[in-house]
A and B are shown apart, each in its own frame.
Chain A
Amino acid sequence: MLSNIYSCSIHGIDGLIVEVEVDISSGLPVYALVGLPDTAIKESKERVFSAIKNNGFRYPMKKITINLAPANIKKEGAYYDLPIAIGILCASEVITSAVSLKDYVFIGELSLKGDIRPVKGILPMVLAARNNHFKAIIVPEENALEASLVKEIKVLPAKHIYQVIEYITGKTEIKPYITDIDGFLTSKQEHSVDFSEVKGQESVKRAMEVAAAGYHNMLMLGPPGSGKTMLAKRFATILPKMTVEESLEVTKIYSITGLLKGKPLITERPFRSPHHTISTTSLVGGGTFPKPGEVSLAHLGVLFLDEMPEFKKSALEVLRQPMEDNIVNISRVSASITYPASFLLVASMNPCPCGYYSDEEHPCQCTPRQIKNYLGKVSGPLLDRIDIQTEVKRTKIEDLQDNGKTESSKDIYTRVNDARSIQLERYKNEKIYFNSQLSTNQINKYCHLGKNEELLMRHAFERMNLSPRAYHKIIKLARTIADLKNMDKIDETHIGEALQYRNLDRKYWEMY
């Protein structure tokens, strides 16, 4: 007899419907599993055998052939234990289904006792099931909350294989699991850090506000102990709110990597700060069976690279393509996969090898050549993609002891969120979301400069030693600054401020 059961696998960050075909024919007891399974799937044989036997069913001592279709895609993970077990039981006519099995998707790992264990990557698989118009999906009970984020499909949580058998033979019902997804998004998580804890540093805080509002990449230059890392950690507290779609997209990535840690939905923008010893592969993703790297884990959030020149040059260079295209293409023997990687890069570095170049008290020991070499570790093309380059100075003791009011993250967050809404509205007919993504044509369209403003730009380029590549970045920044003030037109004050955020273009360590 032949039976067809549907299950799901993960390809990239998307689910892929897999058909589990089980054929039982008379012959010597043989178990053949085909369709490019990995070791975990091959071993399912033993788990399925014990689970069936230990629940009082008869395991057919015949020739069993199982095919996982489509057969040309490599499959991994223990998702198929449950569908294989059900398939064998149906094919050997031990049970007869009272429901139409082609409307169901089965996912779950089995224990020898028959318990259904949780698996990784539930969310993208449920989304795939819904998109392929299945009526219901049977998932491990622990994954039910995550699965229930998807609407328009019945999520049936199961704890034990016996429960599933009872359900398909029509003996009992399983209650669908329902959650209120909007509830998750409205309950805002409190941050343990706040910008009001940082005394002084007004110019960097303002630069961060602009970065968050327009999604501009940012580089902080400063001596050791000036508070670069402290500021960066607080950057997450002013990032704009995530929409439902954004939230689901990020959750999908965390789901397949198994990083959800009990949370059903990621509602905060991710903040990733990999150590500088990170390998190229773990930064962009890869592996024999490709997995998303840090750039994808920071999707729609922040990737913070502390001490950027300490990173391997090759690791930094691979950031260029995702920064431009917002995706990563990974090609391996087993698959060619595209992961989303639309992140905001925040980087910090010292201005010179000894770190004290611009420090007023601590003399710098470096020669101009050393400084040039040090800054050269961050390549020009990479710097080109960083809109804001600002300087962090060491805070003076008076500032630390000053009890004056400093702005809290909440105030900044409100302004950032408003500026974000303006951009979403403005670019609703474009394929972009933020000012930082503006192309040259779009700059001409959306960032019109008046006569005075153009004159100011020209004077600035003559007087301030700016490199030509800074031109469009300054306009983009000015656009964001205008948005923060809710102004439609970019005026001179906006450009004036934007010009202060392009430190490295100004060759500020050279006199001639």
Chain B
Amino acid sequence: MEDREYILWISLLKSISVKNFYELYEHFDSMATLYHCSQEELSRCNLLNLGQIQNIVSSKFDGSLEKHLEMLQQKKIKYLTINDNSYPFILKNIYLPPPVLYYYGNIEEVSFESSIAIVGSRNASYYGLKMSEKIAFELASLGITVVSGMARGVDSMAHVGALKGGGKTVAVLGNGIDIIYPKENAKLYKETMENGLVLSEYPPEVQPMPYNFPRRNRIISGLSMGIVVVEATAKSGSLITAKYALEQGREVYALPGNVNNKNSAGTNLLIKDGAKLITSCKDILVDVFPMFSSKKEEPEPFDEMNLSKEEKEIIKYIKMGYWDADKLCHKLNLPINQIQTTLTTLEIKGRIAIYKGNYYIK
């Protein structure tokens, strides 16, 4: 048996927590030593209670490790242990890093030297979704790995943006990696696997239970140099990730939002507490590449050349929150058919987009 298999074996024992794992590791120096200890030797180390000892002893002979290895092979799941060379270095220096990581994808191709996590609300607004995609796209096209959690909303869009940008992206799951959750992400899941990693500290077949996710968040922040919170409510799980990031000494970036928008309450709170306010990807790049000089940002010249008077008016009012045709019709006092036509031309020109039946500036 190899050293990594001993680590896998002990990580599978339900009674041994991650904390126990590192205590034992320090005491015995290697898990192989532990494996060959007799029951008396185990009880002498004063780290284990009777139940744990029995668990360890019985698991040696019940064939559970062999079964597990066979299953991994069958499902083509690869795993990393804390002792492996390819285990992300950045993750090693957090408190209680996961002893074993299961993954799909090619770990050699993914660099964690400059990786950024993007997290946020599941039930995000158009603004949150678009910004997540945009930031991920820009980071990925500069070769920065984008880490996120594959959840609905902001997380999914971060992966989508990174893939569109042609970069690597890593999805850290709160369930076994052989389970696709949420189900509608099946396609995204596959693409992530091919262009990065899908990984989890949970063994295969573990269901996505609510209590798994906060613990998973420590890996998201652990794998990155900094985390971007795009949109979060005041009680969002993304704030847990931000808390872990601070504990692990990572940078926390927050995207500001409308004060009245519940979805931005969490990010605004982070900014108040000292997170770095970002308005574009450049604000992150300054930290990642110190040589990247942050010149004063020029506001993007808005190309109004090709727009008619009406189109300009409509854009103006959409920005002010007149989101649908009826509201615009009232405000501008134009016939509805004219409004509908103008909305179409703006959509085709790529100036506005429809989401949940409302129009937004792109």
Q: A203-B336, A360-B358, A369-B182 are in contact. Are A464 and B326 (CB under 8 A)?
A: no
Q: A201-B326, A357-B356, A460-B344 are in contact. Are A511 and B336 (CB under 8 A)?
A: no
B190 beta carbon closer than 8 Å to chain A = no
Docked CA distance A463–B353 (Å): 9
For residues 176 through 226 of chain B, which have their beta carbon under 8 Å from a beta carbon of chain A?
A: 182-184, 188
Pair B329/A202 contact, Cβ less than 8 Å? yes
Within the complex, the shortest CB–CB distance from A481 to chain B, in Å, comes to 7
A358 beta carbon closer than 8 Å to chain B = yes
Pair B357/A203 contact, Cβ less than 8 Å? no
Q: A464-B348, A508-B357 are in contact. Are A497 and B341 (CB under 8 A)?
A: yes
User: Looking across the interface, which residue of chain B has its beta carbon closest to that of A491?
Assistant: B341
A189 beta carbon closer than 8 Å to chain B = no
Chain A residues with CB below 8 A from B342, complex form: 496
Q: A203-B325, A393-B324, A496-B342 are in contact. Are A481 and B337 (CB under 8 A)?
A: yes
Listed residue (B157, B340, B350) with the most chain A CB atoms within 10 angstroms of its CB:
B340
Within the complex, the shortest CB–CB distance from B251 to chain A, in Å, comes to 27
Within the complex, the shortest CB–CB distance from A419 to chain B, in Å, comes to 13
Write the B337-360 contact mask toward A (1 if CB under 8 angstroms, else 0).
111111111011010001111100
Docked CA distance A393–B337 (Å): 17
Chain A residues with CB below 8 A from B345, complex form: 496
Chain B residues with CB below 8 A from A64, complex form: none
Listed residue (A203, A364, A499, A509) with the most chain B CB atoms within 10 angstroms of its CB:
A203
For residues 380 through 396 of chain A, which have their beta carbon under 8 Å from a beta carbon of chain B?
A: 391, 393, 396
Docked CA distance A221–B184 (Å): 23
Pair B357/A503 contact, Cβ less than 8 Å? yes
Pair B355/A500 contact, Cβ less than 8 Å? no
Docked CA distance A508–B324 (Å): 14
Docked CA distance A196–B344 (Å): 27
B129 beta carbon closer than 8 Å to chain A = yes
User: Looking across the interface, which residue of chain B has its beta carbon closest to that of A481?
Assistant: B337
Pair A496/B344 contact, Cβ less than 8 Å? yes
For residues 133 through 170 of chain B, which have their beta carbon under 8 Å from a beta carbon of chain A?
A: 133, 152, 156-157, 160
Write the B270-313 contact mask toward A (1 if CB under 8 angstroms, else 0).
00000000000000000000000000000000000000000000
B123 beta carbon closer than 8 Å to chain A = yes
User: Looking across the interface, which residue of chain A has its beta carbon closest to that of B345?
Assistant: A496
Listed residue (A368, A396, A509) with the most chain B CB atoms within 10 angstroms of its CB:
A368
Pair A363/B357 contact, Cβ less than 8 Å? no
Listed residue (B129, B188, B344) with the most chain A CB atoms within 10 angstroms of its CB:
B344
Q: A393-B324, A493-B341 are in contact. Are A367 and B356 (CB under 8 A)?
A: no
Write the B310-344 contact mask toward A (1 if CB under 8 angstroms, else 0).
00000000000001111101100000111111111
Partner of A203, one of B183, B326, B356: B326
User: Looking across the interface, which residue of chain B has its beta carbon closest to that of A202?
Assistant: B336
Docked CA distance A459–B349 (Å): 9
Q: A206-B340, A497-B340 are in contact. Are A358 and B358 (CB under 8 A)?
A: yes
Partner of A508, one of B327, B340, B354: B354
Number of interface residues of A (CB under 8 A): 41
Q: Interface on chain B toward A: helix, strand, loop, or mixed SS?
A: helix
Q: A203-B326, A393-B324 are in contact. Are A358 and B348 (CB under 8 A)?
A: no
A317 beta carbon closer than 8 Å to chain B = no
Partner of A393, one of B129, B183, B188, B357: B357
Pair B326/A202 contact, Cβ less than 8 Å? yes
Within the complex, the shortest CB–CB distance from B112 to chain A, in Å, comes to 26
For residues 141 through 193 of chain A, which have their beta carbon under 8 Å from a beta carbon of chain B?
A: none
User: Looking across the interface, which residue of chain B has its beta carbon closest to that of A402?
Assistant: B330
Within the complex, the shortest CB–CB distance from B360 to chain A, in Å, comes to 11
Q: A202-B326, A202-B336 are in contact. Are A363 and B355 (CB under 8 A)?
A: no
Docked CA distance A508–B356 (Å): 6
Chain A residues with CB below 8 A from B123, complex form: 363-364
Q: A393-B357, A500-B343, A509-B356 are in contact. Are A459 and B182 (CB under 8 A)?
A: no
A506 beta carbon closer than 8 Å to chain B = yes
Docked CA distance A396–B322 (Å): 12
Pair A499/B356 contact, Cβ less than 8 Å? no
Q: A391-B357, A481-B337, A508-B355 are in contact. Are A499 and B344 (CB under 8 A)?
A: yes
Listed residue (B152, B339, B350) with the most chain A CB atoms within 10 angstroms of its CB:
B339
Pair A360/B323 contact, Cβ less than 8 Å? yes
Chain A residues with CB below 8 A from B336, complex form: 202-203, 205-206
Chain B residues with CB below 8 A from A449, complex form: none
Chain A residues with CB below 8 A from B356, complex form: 357-358, 508-509
A197 beta carbon closer than 8 Å to chain B = no
Chain B residues with CB below 8 A from A77, complex form: none
Partner of B344, one of A357, A393, A402, A497: A497
Within the complex, the shortest CB–CB distance from A124 to chain B, in Å, comes to 43
A264 beta carbon closer than 8 Å to chain B = no
Write the A468-512 contact mask toward B (1 if CB under 8 angstroms, else 0).
000000000000010000000000110111011001001011011
Within the complex, the shortest CB–CB distance from A229 to chain B, in Å, comes to 18
A456 beta carbon closer than 8 Å to chain B = yes
Listed residue (A205, A372, A391) with the most chain B CB atoms within 10 angstroms of its CB:
A391
A200 beta carbon closer than 8 Å to chain B = yes
A324 beta carbon closer than 8 Å to chain B = no
Q: A360-B358, A497-B337, A500-B343 are in contact. Are A203 and B324 (CB under 8 A)?
A: yes
A399 beta carbon closer than 8 Å to chain B = yes
Chain A residues with CB below 8 A from B347, complex form: 460, 463-464, 499
Docked CA distance A493–B337 (Å): 9
Chain B residues with CB below 8 A from A203, complex form: 324-326, 329, 336, 339-340
Pair B160/A399 contact, Cβ less than 8 Å? no
Docked CA distance A206–B337 (Å): 7
Docked CA distance A508–B327 (Å): 19
Q: A500-B325, A508-B354 are in contact. Are A399 and B330 (CB under 8 A)?
A: yes
Pair A369/B341 contact, Cβ less than 8 Å? no
Pair A496/B340 contact, Cβ less than 8 Å? yes
Q: A358-B357, A496-B342 are in contact. Are A202 and B325 (CB under 8 A)?
A: yes
Write the A299-323 contact mask toward B (1 if CB under 8 angstroms, else 0).
0000000000000000000000000
User: Looking across the interface, which residue of chain B has its beta carbon closest to that of A484?
Assistant: B337
Partner of A200, one of B157, B184, B330: B330
Pair B323/A512 contact, Cβ less than 8 Å? no
Docked CA distance A393–B343 (Å): 17
Within the complex, the shortest CB–CB distance from A82 to chain B, in Å, comes to 59
Pair A367/B324 contact, Cβ less than 8 Å? no
Docked CA distance A205–B326 (Å): 10
For residues 423 through 462 of chain A, which have their beta carbon under 8 Å from a beta carbon of chain B?
A: 456, 459-460
Chain A residues with CB below 8 A from B354, complex form: 464, 506, 508
Docked CA distance A495–B347 (Å): 13
Docked CA distance A221–B341 (Å): 20
Docked CA distance A456–B344 (Å): 10
Listed residue (B133, B182, B184, B337) with the most chain A CB atoms within 10 angstroms of its CB:
B337
Within the complex, the shortest CB–CB distance from B331 to chain A, in Å, comes to 11
Within the complex, the shortest CB–CB distance from B202 to chain A, in Å, comes to 22
Docked CA distance A507–B355 (Å): 9
Known: A202-B325, A369-B184. 14 other contacts (CB 8 A): A203-B324, A203-B325, A203-B340, A205-B336, A367-B152, A368-B182, A368-B184, A393-B326, A456-B348, A459-B348, A463-B348, A464-B347, A506-B354, A508-B356
List 5 A-B pairs, Cβ < 8 Å. A203-B326, A360-B358, A368-B182, A391-B357, A463-B350
| Partner-B contacts on A (CB < 8 A) | 200-203, 205-206, 221, 351, 357-358, 360, 363-364, 367-369, 372, 391, 393, 396, 399, 402, 456, 459-460, 463-464, 481, 492-493, 495-497, 499-500, 503, 506, 508-509, 511-512
* 5 closest Cβ pairs, A-B complex: A496-B341, A358-B357, A496-B344, A202-B336, A500-B340
